[in-house]
Amino acid sequence: MNWNRIVVKLGGSILLIVLIILLPLGFVTQQIFSGFYYSKVQDQLMDLSKRYAESISSVDNTQILQMFETLATMTDKEIVIVDSKGKVLANSGLPSFENGRKVTMKPLLLKEEENVPRYEYEDPLLDESFLYIGRPIFDEEDQFIGSIYVFSSIGPITQSLEVIKNLLILAGVGSILLASGLIYFVSKRLSRPLLDMVSVTRGMAKGELHSRVGITTGDEIGALGRSINDLAIELESYRTNRKEFFASVSHELRTPLAYVDGYARVLKEGIYETEEEKERYLSIIEQEAARMTKLVNDLFELSKMEEGHFHLLLEEVDLIEVVESTLEKTQLKAKEKGLRVSFDSVISIPTIYADGLRIEQVLINLVENAIRYTEEGSIVIRLLSEDSYVAIEIEDTGIGIPESEIPFLFDRFYRVEKSRSRKYGGTGLGLSIVKHLVSLQNGSIDVQSKVGKGTKVTLRFPIYMEESS
Ligand SMILES: Nc1ncnc2c1ncn2[C@@H]1O[C@H](COP(=O)(O)OP(=O)(O)OP(=O)(O)O)[C@@H](O)[C@H]1O
Ligand SMILES: [Mg+2]
C-alpha cells in the first residue's frame, strides 16, 4: 500500500478530524447527561428526606414506622429509620439494614443544606449502588431522637447512561463509515484524472506526444489536464517544426557544399582548359560560400528573433531618409539587371517610432526581392500617409506570385516553385525575417500579386505621436 497517495492522506486527515470532534463531544455529552440525572435524583432525595423527617415526631411508635416503610415501598425509593444511637428501627427493603443493626452513616446537618456532596452507598447484599440523604429527626421538644435515610438506586441512571453511550458510539461509528465511503469516492474522483495525467506526461517525456488526457471536469484538475494537452500539442508541433527545420537547413547547405566541393576538386586536379574557365569556377565557389554565410547569418538572426533575444533601438524615424538610403544600396543590383527603381516622394511624411536601421533592412529585402523576381519593367517605392498609419509600397512588374502561395511566403525556407530558386539564388528566409522585424515594430505587411503582371508589398506603421511615447 502506498501511504503517499491522496486517498490515504485526505482520508486520514478527515478521519482524524472526525475523531477529534466526536471523542470530546461524546465525553462532554455523557458528562452533561450524568450530571443532570444525578442532580435531579439528589434534589428528589433532599426534598423527600426533609418532608419525611419533618412528619416524624416520635420513633417509638412502631405503627408509624411501619406506615413509613409501606409508604416507601410505593415509591422507587427505600428508607431506613434509626434511633439517636444509630440503631435501625425501620427498613423498607434493604436487606443489609436489618433491625437493631448499628449504622455509622451521619445525617445532614441543617447548615449543610447548600452544596450537598454526592453520598453514595454500595449495598453488599444486593450488589447495587445507591444515592442517599440522611436527615435528623427531632421530637416536639426539639430533642434529637433519630435519623431517616432515603435511598435511590442509581441502577436506572447507569442504564440510561449506558444507552446514551451506546447510541453515541453507534453514531460515531456510523459517521466514520459514512465519511470513509464519501472520502473513498471523492478521492477516487480526484486521483483518477491525476494518475491519468501522470501516465500521459510520463509518455510525453518518452516522446509519445500524441497521447492526451481525457478530461470531463471544469474544475482546477480539468484546467490542469487541458494545459497538459495544450503542452502536448505545442511540443508536437515544435518537434515537427524542428524536424522540418533540420531537413531544410541540411538541404539548403548540401547544394552549395556540393558546388564548392565539385569545383574545388576540378581546380585541384587541373581539369579546366582556359584561364577564364578557372576564373568562372573560382567565382562560383566564392558565390556559394557567400550564399552559405548569408544562410547562416539569416538563421542566426531569425532564431534570436524567435527566442525574443532581439533588441531594437526605437526612435523617431524619417522614412524619406530611409527610402533614399535603400535606393542607394540597391541601385547597383538594379542596374545589373537593367531595371529602374523610382521613388514617388512627397514633401513631408509623418515620422514613425521604430528602429531606422531595421526598417532599412526590411526595405532592402523587399526591393531586392522585387529586383530578383523582375526581368523587365520597373520598381516603384511609394510613401503614403493614411489616417493613423504611414504606408510604404514596393511595387514591381515581375513574375508575380500565385494567390494560393501568398499565405506561405513568410514561412521559413518557403519559395514559390522550388526549381527556379537556384536561378534566382534565394534561400526563402528573407520574408520570414521581414515579417518578424515588421511586427516587432508594431507594423503590418500585406502582399498583393498577379502572376506575370507583378507584385505589390505594402507595409504599415503607426504614426508617431508625442504623447504616445
Ligand atoms: N517581388 C516578388 N515577386 C515574385 N516572387 C516573389 C517576390 N518576393 C518574394 N517572392 C517569392 O517568395 C519567396 C520567398 O521570398 P523570400 O524573400 O523569403 O526568399 P528568397 O528571396 O527566395 O530568399 P532570401 O530573401 O532569403 O535570399 C521567393 O522565393 C519568391 O518565390
Ligand atoms: Mg528575398
Average the pLDDT over 266-282 and give the result.
92
Check whether 110 has a pLDDT greater than 90: no
Average the pLDDT over 115-134 and give the result.
86
Q: Is 134 in a helix, a strand, or coil? A: strand
Residue 422, pLDDT score: 60
Residue 231, pLDDT score: 94
Contact call for residues 362 and 437 (beta carbons, < 8 A): yes
| Residues shown for the chain | 469
454 plus 319 within the same structural domain: yes
255 plus 234 within the same structural domain: yes
Supply the CATH number for residue 276's domain: 1.10.287.130
Q: What confidence tens digit (pLDDT) does each residue in 420-443 have?
A: 556 677 788 999 999 999 999 999
Residue 38, pLDDT score: 87
Count structural domains, the chain.
Answer: 3
Neighbours of 102 (CB within 10 A): 10
178 or 345, higher pLDDT? 178
List of residues 6+ apart from 392 with CB closer than 8 A: 319, 323, 363, 381, 382, 383, 384, 458, 459, 460, 461
11 plus 152 within the same structural domain: yes
Give the separation between CA 246 and CA 249, rounded to whole angstroms: 5
From atom 7 of ligand 1, which residue's Cα is the shortest distance away? 369
Neighbours of 296 (CB within 10 A): 13
180 or 359, higher pLDDT? 359
Residue 111, pLDDT score: 62
From atom 19 of ligand 1, which residue's Cα is the shortest distance away? 428
Residue 266 Cα to ligand 2 midpoint, Å, equals 31
450 plus 322 within the same structural domain: yes
Give the separation between CA 412 and CA 243, rounded to whole angstroms: 13
Supply the CATH number for residue 36's domain: 3.30.450.20
Dump strand ranges (E) for 310-371.
315-317, 340-344, 352-354
Residue 448 Cα to ligand 1 midpoint, Å, equals 13
Q: What confidence tens digit (pLDDT) does each residue in 169-188 have?
A: 898 889 889 888 888 888 88
Check whether 379 has a pLDDT greater than 60: yes
Residues of the domain holding 373: 311-468
Residue 468, pLDDT score: 47
Average the pLDDT over 232-242 and give the result.
90
Q: Give residue 332's pLDDT band: very low, low, confident or very high (50, 70, 90).
A: very high
Residue 454 Cβ inside 6 Å of ligand 1? The answer reads no
Return the closest-CA partner of residue 148 out of 3, 233, 46.
46
Residue 364 Cα to ligand 2 midpoint, Å, equals 9
Residue 224, pLDDT score: 92
Residue 160, pLDDT score: 84
324 plus 449 within the same structural domain: yes
User: Is residue 14 one of the residues assigned to a domain?
Assistant: yes
Residue 394 Cβ inside 6 Å of ligand 1? The answer reads no
54 plus 70 within the same structural domain: yes
Which cell is 433 given?
Answer: 525575417
Share of the chain above pLDDT 70, in %: 96
Residue 469, pLDDT score: 45
Report the chain's mean pLDDT, rounded to a whole number. 88
Average the pLDDT over 322-326 and give the result.
96
Check whether 34 has a pLDDT greater than 70: yes
Give the separation between CA 11 and CA 440, rounded to whole angstroms: 54
Mark which of 161, 194, 229 sits at the end of a domain.
Answer: 161
User: Is residue 191 one of the residues assigned to a domain?
Assistant: no
Residue 376 Cα to ligand 2 midpoint, Å, equals 18
Supply the CATH number for residue 370's domain: 3.30.565.10
Average the pLDDT over 75-99 and give the result.
88
Residue 340 Cα to ligand 2 midpoint, Å, equals 18
298 plus 334 within the same structural domain: no
Mark which of 119, 146, 161 sits at the end of a domain.
Answer: 161
From atom 23 of ligand 1, which residue's Cα is the shortest distance away? 426
Check whether 69 has a pLDDT greater than 90: no
Average the pLDDT over 353-382 and give the result.
95
393 plus 345 within the same structural domain: yes
318 plus 263 within the same structural domain: no
Q: What confidence tens digit (pLDDT) does each residue in 458-469 have?
A: 999 999 887 644
431 plus 342 within the same structural domain: yes
431 plus 393 within the same structural domain: yes
Mark which of 305, 335, 368 sits at the end of a domain.
Answer: 305
Q: Which of 299, 363, 409 to mutate to test the pocket of ligand 1 (most atoms within 8 A of CB)?
A: 409
Strands 389-396 and 378-386: antiparallel
Residue 116, pLDDT score: 78
User: Is residue 201 one of the residues assigned to a domain?
Assistant: no
4 or 302, higher pLDDT? 302
